[in-house]
Amino acid sequence: MLRACTGCVRALRQAELGRVGLVRGFAEKADKAVASADMDWSVLERLAQSDNAKRQVASLRSTFKDEMQKLEALAPEEVTIDWDSYKGKVDDRLLTTLHKALTGLKIPKYDISGALKEVDEVFAPILKQAKELEEFSAQRAKEIEAEIAAVDRDIARLKEVTIEDEIEKDPELAAKIDDEISKGSYY
């Protein structure tokens, strides 16, 4: 059996199909299966919300385009194998098996709608939590900005206020200071 496989490989090399021809044939079949379902990039772009996600989608789109161009370059013409030329050079059972395997090759088309529903179900609570956290952080940011503004006003006011002004505003503070002075506890 090993000799038959070696003979098959030798015969393929002699027929100048070699690796490139086989890759082209496979790439063409794969290209038809993949390219028939053109990507709708606008959906992905709409789903990407952050700048980083948008950059990632753009990078993915560029990479996908480059890979599709490479596949197209590998399969510019259809490769046909002359099976009759191998008869007598290769074991008939092996040749029949290879012929049936190659002609029977069907690349499956996947229905991804179920997977997308599962992904949506998984991400729905995560997105809900993210929205809640976004609202909370926006509210908290407003509170912090108000506190910062109050501190800035206090700093500006403290630069110009004198001890006499503070004592006039707070008579209890003046009494407390006088009491500490009379007791001799300045610290």
Looking at residue 144, its pLDDT comes to 97
Question: Model confidence over 17-76: pLDDT tens digits?
Answer: 334 444 444 445 544 544 444 677 887 788 888 889 889 888 988 898 888 888 877 766
How far apart, in Å, are the Cα atoms of 37 and each of 31, 34, 63, 112, 137? 10, 6, 17, 11, 41
Looking at residue 117, its pLDDT comes to 92
Residue 64 CA, distance from chain mean position = 13
Which has the minimum average pLDDT: 106-110, 169-173, 182-186?
Answer: 182-186
Task: Report the C-alpha gap between 89 and 7 in whole angstroms.
Answer: 7
Outline where 38-112 has alpha helix (H).
41-47, 51-74, 92-103
Contact 27, 69 (CB under 8 A): no
Looking at residue 24, its pLDDT comes to 47
* Over residues 102-123, mean pLDDT: 88
User: For residue 183, is pLDDT > 80?
Assistant: yes
Looking at residue 186, its pLDDT comes to 65
Q: At what angle do helices 2-14 and 92-103 cross, to 10 degrees?
A: 60
Residue that wins the pLDDT comparison between 132 and 185: 132
Q: Is the dihedral of CA 154, 157, 159, 165 positive or negative?
A: negative
- And the tokens for 33? 């299966």
Name the residue ranges covered by the structural domains of the chain. Answer: 2-110, 117-187
Contact 75, 28 (CB under 8 A): yes
Looking at residue 122, its pLDDT comes to 93
* Over residues 108-131, mean pLDDT: 91
Looking at residue 35, its pLDDT comes to 46
Query: Would the pTM count as exceeding 0.85?
Result: no
